[in-house]
Amino acid sequence: MTRRRWIADEVKGDTAALVGDHAAHLARVLRAEVGQEFDIAAGEEVRRGTITFVSYDRVEFALDKKPRRLRRSKLSAAPKITLVLAVFKFDRMEWAIEKCTEIGVERIIPVIARRSDAHLATAAAKRHERWLRIARQAAEQSRRETPPEIAAPIKLKALAGDIISADSVDRIVLAESEEDARLGDVWQPLSTEAALAVGPEGGWTSDELGWFCETGWKTASLGNTILRAETAAIVATALAMEGLR
Alpha carbon of 245 to those of 72, 133, 148: distances in Å? Answer: 14, 28, 19
Phi/psi region, residue 42 (left: phi>0; alpha: psi -120 to 50; beta: rest), is: beta
Q: What is the pLDDT of residue 1?
A: 53
What are the structural domain ranges in the chain? 5-69, 80-243
Q: What is the pLDDT of residue 5?
A: 86
Tell me the β-bridge partners of 51.
Answer: 61
Q: What is the pLDDT of residue 29?
A: 85
SS3 243: helix
Domain 80-243 CATH (choose: 3.40.190.10, 3.30.9.10, 3.40.50.1100, 3.40.1280.10): 3.40.1280.10
Question: One fold for both 5-69 and 80-243?
Answer: no
User: What's the CA gap between 24 and 201, in Å, rounded?
Assistant: 35
User: What's the CA gap between 100 and 145, in Å, rounded?
Assistant: 15
Q: What is the pLDDT of residue 105?
A: 95
pTM: 0.80
- Computed on alpha carbons and rounded to an integer, the radius of gyration of the chain in Å comes to 20
At the top level of CATH, the class of 5-69 is mainly beta
Run of H or E residues at 141: helix 128-141
The ranges of the chain with pLDDT < 70 are 1-2, 43, 66-78, 163, 165, 178, 189-190
Asked if 186 contacts 172 with a C-beta cutoff of 8 angstroms, the reply is yes
Q: What is the pLDDT of residue 162?
A: 75
Beta strands (DSSP E) in 113-205 are 149-150, 154-155, 170-174, 193-198
Q: What is the pLDDT of residue 178?
A: 66
User: What's the CA gap between 28 and 49, in Å, rounded?
Assistant: 19
Phi/psi region, residue 197 (left: phi>0; alpha: psi -120 to 50; beta: rest), is: beta
pLDDT in tens, 65-74: 766 555 544 4
pLDDT in tens, 51-67: 999 999 999 999 997 66
